[in-house]
Structure formats: structure tokens, C-alpha cells
Amino acid sequence: MQHKVLKVNASDNVIVALRNLEAGETIEFEGETYVLPRAIAAKHKFVTHDLAVGDHVTMYGVLVGKATQPIARGEQITTFNLKHESDEFSVTKRKPQTNWVAPDVSKWVNRTFMGFPRLDGQVGIANYWLVIPLVFCENRNILKLKDAFDKALGYAFPDIYLKQVNDLVKLYEKADNAALKSYNATIQTLNLGPEPLFKNLDGIKFLTHESGCGESNQESAVLAALFGAYANNANVTGITVLSLGCQKTQFDDLMKEIKTRNPNFDKPILFFEQQAYGTEFEMMSAAIKATFEGLIEANKLERQPAPLSKLNIGLKCGGSDGFSGISANPVLGHLSDLVVALGGNTYLAEFPELCGVEQELIDRCTSEAKAQKFETLMRDYAAKAEAVGAGFDMNPSAGNIKDGLITDAIKSAGAAKKGGTAPIADVLNYTEVAQESGLHLVCTPGNDVLATTGQAASGATITLFTTGLGTPTGNPICPIVKVSTNTKLAQKMPDIIDFDCGAIIEGEKTIEQTAEELLEYCIQLASGTIKTKAQLLGQDDFMPWKRGVSL
């Protein structure tokens, strides 16, 4: 049964509306009576008692804002009466977590998924060949290779919009103005083309970017580090590299980054430099032949049973709403605790969306050195943002605010729920890869594609992505599962949502039940028996972070 309202933490002085509340409506909650002076939309919050200017607002048990004008009991908090405020944090205040009680995972201990074992001990949930350019000058050639390989090998996606444009062209040529005006597209059953030639190869992924030259040495080095990390991802089986020749990011730089992350790296790497070959045709022909031979070998690999300790799951949110921290994010948090208890890895990114909960995360780090690394990365990132007038308090988007996330601290406190309660095994800077099992903090922006790109670099082979408003974001090598915070969104956008947590808001399921169902989904995905909506749409978003100020 759905309740009208919810208080997330006993110490909070705001109450969340779980459905639309009418002006003048009387709310009975925890022995108190509230008469609402104005209507309050679902996902928004009202205060439990009168607040004066400067008084603090607490949600999720932490400071999330400061009143900028008086707010009467029962009044909604808004951007007009509340501004971002968060608690100070420091390693010197650290109270190490020593009493974590792991969830019972006895029912999962002997479970397996069908993955691709790598010789270095990693296990991929997919088998992708990667084709990358060391410089933007090779983007055209990358796209030419993509067109040729995808169409010839059966990986091309049908163009569902081509028929619509062709229909309009024909009507225009007939000068049928009435038909043009009344034309309405319908979903067509399209020929998907031939079955993929290579049954054990999940696809060839072609990446493009705008980096590699004409930039700082640091940015070119970051590109090499990012590609080095992607080559090391367990979902990658081999790599084809295109180079112009004279750019800043060189093949030697890439190989150095690969070996730094994995001294025993043994995947095939094929390298082609256009200036060495002379003509484009010569280089492209050589790349096609060698890559095809590599695909033949990659197709010989077969899925084998692997323990759940080999799962590497990214934790991300985007297009968040006022229900994110109540339904979907806590579901990811419990799932993360399950995976950690099983010996697997999880990755919580988006440092601007950890603002206000830093002290809790510092306390959960397994060593003071890791806690210090987190504090240093957070303070450095925040300082760079503030230096250009883009502090973390500017992080909430218009959609976030419209749907109840009034301050960055409110958004962050809810976003941090994705990390569950487990100890933090390590803190990873951008492009650093995990070296031990457990929950990891990964330094990335909150920007959806920058964050998912960074999580895959750290080792995530699946990313769970919660959303209350809807987003199509995908990743070329790490399947992204869209988890909706509410059923209305899942029904409205079924072509992008994979899993619905709305039953929690309706009072029909618990967070724990839903997390276990989501883990079962992950096992199927890791075994190759299902695909995400982003995969089915061919949504392969990739964006290197140039370490400028992105939120």
C-alpha cells in the first residue's frame, strides 16, 4: 500500500511527498498533523517545523541546505527559500568504520555466470574487439571501418528512420503537399539483416574523440591512459589502433599505460600508422585484413562458468529525481553490498555528487591513506570548479530541481546511497584500475558520459544506471542497465528502461527484494542471455575527460 509521505531518516526535518498533495490537505504522520498551505508535487519536500533565516535543513541524516528566508511548518522547500549547505569534512575527524555487517549471501555463494575468462584472471561478461584512433585525424577512417565491418559481419543496426525520410522524399517528388502535411510515421518491422558471422564475438566497437594533438601534454597523456585502461577491461578481447604518425599521443605512450596497469597484458594489439603506409587505401586495407584475422581468433573463445566474485559493477545515476535516493539508488546500494560480500568489485563515481557526505565516506575507507587520497581528490576538484565560477552547488540541472532535488547536497546525499554501506576498499583517480576487491570510489564528473567512460576505464564490466527522468546513455564496452526510480517513467520510456524500482514507492516491494531481483538480471546479462536497451539501440557513448571543470 502506498503511503502519502516519507521521512528518510529519523533526524530529518523535511518530509517527502510520495504522491501529489493538495493545498489545504491534512497529513497525519508519526503522531504529528500537518496542514499544507499550498499544493506539493510528488518528489518534493516540506518542513516539519518553522525555520528562520539561516536555519539548517537535514535530509538523509545530513546537512543539505540553509534557509534563505523564513519557511513555515508544512511549507515546501524550493530554490527560493533554500540554498546549498553541507558539513565540513576532514581526515582528522575520521572515525574508522569497523563494524560492517555484510548481508547474508549464502544463496549466491555457489552461483555462477557464463563469462569469457582472460589469461590474466579477469572474466569478461562480453567479448568485444576495440578499434581506436590515437588522434582525431583518424576519426574518418575509424567510421569508414565501422561502416564496412558492421555491415559485412552482421553488427549493423537497421536504420528505422531511413524509411521515413524516403517516404517524405517520394511524397515531395510527387508534389503531394496534402500527404506531406498529414504524414505520420509508424513503427515498422524491419529486416535486421544477416546473423553475425562470429557467434562468440559480441561486437566490434569503434571509438572516436577530439583529442590526441593540439592540446596540452597532460591531455594527450590522459588519452593514452584512458585507452590503456580500456584495453585492460575484461570485456575487451583485442585492439586495432590507427595513428596518423605525427600527433602527440604516440603508440609507445599507449603501450606504456597498458603495461603499467597490467604487466602480464597479452591481448592482441594491431597498430597502423597512416604516414608510414603512405596512402589511406594501403593502411586501411592492411588494417581490415589483420583485424579480420584477429576476429577469427577472438571468435574461438567461448563462455565458461565463473563465480559472482568476478563481477565488476559500476554504480551511476543520471536524470535523477526526488525518488532516486529513496528507491533506485538504495537498491543499487544493497546490490553493491551483496556483490562486495561475494568478493566482487563495485565502482561509485561522480565526485561532485558526493558533496555533503564526504565525512561518512572518509570514515568508511579501509585505511587513512585511502581516506586522505579521497579528501585530496575532492578538495582539488572542488577548488578547480570554484576557480572558474562553477562550484559543486551548481551541479543540479533544471530537471533535477523540477523533480525535487533542490540543492547539490540533497542530490548528493541521495546519490551516495548507490554505494551501500560496505567499507571502501580503494579510491581510484581517473583511469586508475582496481587492484583489490570491494567497493571503490572513482574520481569522475557527474556528467553521464564522462562518468560511465571513467567507470569502464577502472574496470566495470556492467554499469547500473538509475534515472528518474530518463536518459539513453550507453557505453561501447560496458553494458549500461537503466534502472528507473518510478513506474511512470518505465511505462513512458520502455525503449530505454531495463529495470523498474517503482514498486518500492508504491509500497509493494522492499529495497532488499528489488536488489536481489536486479542481481538476477545482472547474472543473465553477464551470461549473454539478455541485452540492455542501450545495446539494442546501439548507444555507444564515449567521451574522454580532459580534466577541465566538468560537473
Which residue do the cell numbers 541524516 mark? 61
CA 15, CA 6: separation in Å to the nearest integer?
A: 6
Residue 551: predicted pLDDT: 47
CB atoms inside a 10 Å sphere around CB 206 = 25
Q: Digits of tens for pLDDT over the chain (551 positions)?
A: 568 999 999 999 999 999 999 999 999 999 999 999 999 999 999 999 999 999 999 999 999 999 999 999 999 999 999 999 989 999 999 999 888 999 999 999 999 999 999 999 999 999 999 999 999 999 999 999 999 999 999 998 878 888 889 999 999 999 989 988 999 988 766 555 678 999 999 999 999 999 999 988 899 999 999 999 999 999 999 999 999 999 999 999 999 999 999 999 999 999 999 999 999 999 999 999 999 999 999 999 999 999 999 999 999 999 988 999 999 999 999 999 999 999 999 999 999 989 889 999 999 999 999 999 999 999 999 898 888 877 777 777 888 888 788 888 899 899 999 999 999 999 999 999 999 999 999 999 999 999 999 999 999 999 999 999 999 999 999 999 999 999 999 999 999 999 999 999 999 999 999 999 999 999 999 999 999 999 999 999 999 998 765 54
CB atoms inside a 10 Å sphere around CB 271 = 16
Q: Is 408 helix (H, G, I), strand (E, B) or coil?
A: helix
Q: Quick check: 484 and 499 in contact, CB under 8 A?
A: yes
Residue 297: predicted pLDDT: 97
- Partnered with residue 63 across adjacent β-strands are 58
Q: Quick check: 261 and 234 in contact, CB under 8 A?
A: no
Q: Quick check: 291 and 240 in contact, CB under 8 A?
A: yes
Q: Quick check: 428 and 375 in contact, CB under 8 A?
A: no
- Partnered with residue 329 across adjacent β-strands are none
In 262-390, where does DSSP find H-type helix? 274-277, 280-298, 328-341, 358-364, 368-387
CB atoms inside a 10 Å sphere around CB 164 = 15
CB atoms inside a 10 Å sphere around CB 352 = 27
Residue 192: predicted pLDDT: 56
All cell numbers assigned to 291? 583485424
Which CB contacts under 8 angstroms, 24+ apart, belong to 177-180?
Answer: none
Which residue do the cell numbers 563465480 mark? 307
